[in-house]
Structure 1
Amino acid sequence: MDINKIHYFFRAAEQQNFTRAAELCHIAQTTMSKYISVLEGELGCELFVRTGRTARLTPQGQRFYDGMKVIMKQYKDLCREVGRENAHELHIGMITTDYEDFPILRTFELANPEIAAYFSFGDESRLLADLRHHRIDAVICPNILTFKESRVEDMTRVDLLRIEESLVCSRELLDKCGSVAQVVAGQPLITKTAETEYQEFCRENLCRIYGVQFPDVLVVTSYAQQLLMLNLSRGFAIIPAKAKHEYENLCFIKTDDSLSETVQLLYHPSFVTPELQALLDHIHENKC
């Protein structure tokens, strides 16, 4: 069986039509039919039930399809890992909240020009899976927004930088309500985080600071939407204090350190490549 041509079988199974599958694979229909026949001969069973122009998987064909999908993913992952063994590469997944700056990464690249750093962005579940399967070396994430401790108790965290947060609302809304406490008591929290744990984290700390609780949560999908809702006086948000010089219509009210974020590097101590160790050493040296 030629593993490099197994995608012919996948296409035929998904299209349920050899002619369409052949077109997608850029081969002749006769080549597709011959490949399937040879594959069935090697396996000693029929993979398809052919009815007119339709070709549906047999039970054995479905089992082979499901199993080969898993095998091909493992094969590709293995090829990537083996290919990286002789390459000086660092692969980092990033879960950001749209506004972090990472000077430590810039200075690392300047100090280590022989290491090629690659960054990928995604949701925490996918990046955590990539980290556990060694498809990436580490993940950069805000400490209060991501990863329940039970999911990463075998991981190691390293602090990269601390971000001071402010409570933010429009000047119009603050004038209308008369005080920050009344803004919190009468307006929704505007956040990009749908996780109830983070929302409760904000609720508890704001109640401790201002003695009131916000009535609702407005979840948006981007930082731009968050700013738009703030400018339209639709509620308040917790965002980095350094943004205060960019938005004249917004009031940035300093809170205590409980709402500040620490951006961290998360990695598995049993899988530390020389390139990751170089980054860890650079972080340590620049903190000392």
Structure 2
Amino acid sequence: DFRSGIQKFRVKLLAEGYGQTDMDVLCQIGLDGIQMLDPATSRTLRIYPFEAVTRWEVLDSCIFAFWAKTPADFEAKRIRLKSSSYTTTTILDTVTAASVQLQEIAEGKVPNSSRTAEQLAEKKKGFDWMNLVKPPIEEKEHWVPDEAVNKCSSCGSNFNAFVRRHHCRNCGEIFCDKCTQGRTPLTLDEDATPVRVCDRCMAEVTQRLDNAKEAVNRSGAMLSHEDLAKKLKEEMNRNSKAPSGSRFEGSETRKREVECPTCTVHLQVEVPSSGSETIECSVCQHPFLVSAH
């Protein structure tokens, strides 16, 4: 279940262009997308949200490839991950399962494990991702080298001994300290630590994480609704066995059918001999008053 966990794989990120070299990374897959982490420090190197991923496939038994397109890209860029054939197959299954679950959450459905399994084989052939609730976020191939920038990318301040360079951990651009005051985790992982980001990315990442939380909360609310329906059925079965207005022998305790003002379920409750009494609905757990008359 990707709502509560993530998967990590040790892979080699293959070079795609001139000047690049192969790199050993940890590939982390969760509902917030595909991430490349530094295997030594777990620092996030790149993030590819699922809405930016256009398709994926296995190129051969040891290479998993996916294509991601950001607003800054003219066309989708290919990312290749090399590992063992077993790991490659597992990555394919994990990415496909995460995408199916995300799609179901976005459509307001509770993820169905049996339906997800049925869809895996078809989606493994190559998946064209739909636009979901989250806006795409611009990705960089790598951090901008320190020597390539002399001014803050935001305010234009010249870097010197007193105005130092700082990388935004999300977009990779270089800014001064004043323009990178924001601190935020880049994922929904419980152990994700807040990192330095620029003002623009602070707004974008916050929006992305808020949308992801909202999608997960909608799914959780639907599960709670199922629990409520189950309790309702149990209460209806219990009510059907007890006649309305029954009285116990040798006791002044009476029972009467009343309607819960919150969930409108009809309940068999004990009625006080006089005055009123607060009781708790056995279905929705909300308290309400029951009077003797």
Pairwise same-fold verdict (TM > 0.5): no
More helix, by proportion: 1
Shorter-normalised TM range: under 0.3
Larger relative contact order (CA 8 Å, sep ≥ 6): 1
> Higher strand share goes to which structure?
2
Larger Rg: 2
